[in-house]
A and B are shown apart, each in its own frame.
Chain A
């Protein structure tokens, strides 16, 4: 039997999902958003980003900024799997002995900047991209944004500036899972036609399936998509991807799980039957 292409990525993404599920134990985490972007983060770190645990201070490294910070469990899991820190550290999620909590911070190796307040890191990314240009560098800046986050006006200001300054070393990766915290984006503040909006603000836009590694390869293997324009990748994703009881659920953005639920979800990830969740959903926003 020959190995499927990207089998290594599929296994890596499964392991990241396992970390995410374990971090939802007890105090819980933003599991829905974490599962929607897990495949994107895995692909970016495994195939695209020129960054590694030994290059964290290298000015020529690629940057990844997680602007929709509440999905950080997926980033914690990816960074641990890529060797940025030992994965047993993730068992200290929410423990006061460590700094692994519900939003990113720079005490965790590999995390470039803190976030949690939406609509900040595209502007920070613009600044980093500007300096890379000023310094004559070749590094790229990837900013992962949520689609709900696009409500924030600051995102659009930053894109105006990125286009004005011709930052073709800047890549927006939009986790288009079609959910705000509580409701579907199109029911509340419709974003469509999103590609047209981003295009009209100056980005070169490509839409992909955010769970399909082959489409990611096509979209991300050659950057920028156009000289002198920022690139925007709209990655169509599914909130809670990979676990039936969490997929596309408005009420399962944040969950705090029992040990038994964690075990059942871990079994489901490895081909077991679908887990049944009984924990009450924690409404945090």
Chain B
């Protein structure tokens, strides 16, 4: 399988409009300066200037793919994203690294746990949340082929599950069907939700596992089917309760006049800085803990 960097290089070689930008975040794109030459633009640690410049490049017909750590990209450059990219609806693609728990032991300054909420607050902004590297690679050509601005919650981890459906914008992947509980999730948390599914099934529960893949557009039908066909919906996300998937699901249910029991598994504050496995366990976001929280909600 090619890497993210290989794919981006290939896409850029095929389409001269693509420029790869970074605010000195090169972890995933180390080899691109050699392969893209002038179309690799590292502006240094200048997130705001990167976004303003991306808008300028897009005005001239380019498709900038902008890299920075998710927290600095969505927070520090927020007003530039909203005003320069959002208002003009320019095809600038924002790639935020180490979102959610992936920032590990860096601490609150590096924890992008409100990035979905912020990007949702910009009209026209697409939001894509790959569960692993395979999904990221499947999504990128689709993202680059649309004219919309897009935020990618970057995740190039090893495969979380065996994917069954091709990537489509606004189409969820349903990994299992079941009437007791629906686990709705995206991004890094798919792996843990899948582990939770295994725990729950071992206890005799029937579990629907839904990988939403894109939060805007969102697969409304998948959410409504989960509400209609299961006793409990659990939203599982490494994001704040405010403005993330739980909010989105609640909005969909209210807009469609559907009553459902919804358990939010989300963060209410910054998480304990630690290596990934330790942080997941400490915050009770590992598969076993998620399963226990779901069982608790079913019994309540």
Q: A residues engaging B (CB < 8 A)? A: 27, 69, 94-96, 99, 101-103, 105, 114-119, 148-149, 151-153, 180-183, 188-189, 283-285
Mark B34-49 against chain A: 1 for CB-CB distance below 8 A, else 0: 0000000011111011
Neighbouring B residues of A69 by C-beta, 8 Å = 109
Are B109 and A114 closer than 8 Å at their CB atoms? Answer: yes
Q: Can you report 25 residue pairs joining A to B where beta carbons are below 8 Å apart?
A: A27-B105, A94-B273, A94-B274, A94-B278, A96-B272, A96-B279, A101-B107, A102-B106, A103-B110, A105-B107, A114-B107, A114-B108, A114-B109, A115-B109, A117-B72, A117-B109, A148-B24, A152-B46, A153-B48, A180-B24, A182-B24, A183-B42, A188-B24, A189-B44, A285-B27
CB < 8 Å: which of B25, B72, B109 contacts A103?
A: B109
Given known contacts A101-B273, A102-B106, A151 and B25 CB-to-CB distance under 8 angstroms:
no
Neighbouring B residues of A99 by C-beta, 8 Å = 273
Majority secondary structure, A binding face: loop
CB of B272, distance to nearest CB on chain A (Å) = 5
What CA separation (Å) do A180 and B46 show in the bound complex? 12
How many residues does chain B have at the interface if contact means C-beta atoms less than 8 Å apart? 32
Q: B residues engaging A (CB < 8 A)? A: 24-27, 30, 42-46, 48-49, 69, 71-72, 76, 97-98, 104-110, 272-275, 278-279, 282
Are A283 and B43 closer than 8 Å at their CB atoms? Answer: no
Neighbouring B residues of A103 by C-beta, 8 Å = 106-107, 109-110, 273
Neighbouring B residues of A102 by C-beta, 8 Å = 104-107, 273
Are A148 and B275 closer than 8 Å at their CB atoms? Answer: no
Neighbouring B residues of A96 by C-beta, 8 Å = 272, 274, 278-279, 282
What CA separation (Å) do A102 and B30 show in the bound complex? 23
Given known contacts A96-B282, A285-B69, A116 and B106 CB-to-CB distance under 8 angstroms:
yes
CB of B154, distance to nearest CB on chain A (Å) = 13
Are A101 and B282 closer than 8 Å at their CB atoms? Answer: no
CB < 8 Å: which of A101, A105, A117 contacts B71?
A: A117
Neighbouring B residues of A101 by C-beta, 8 Å = 105-107, 273-274
- Name the residue on A nearest B42 (C-beta): A188
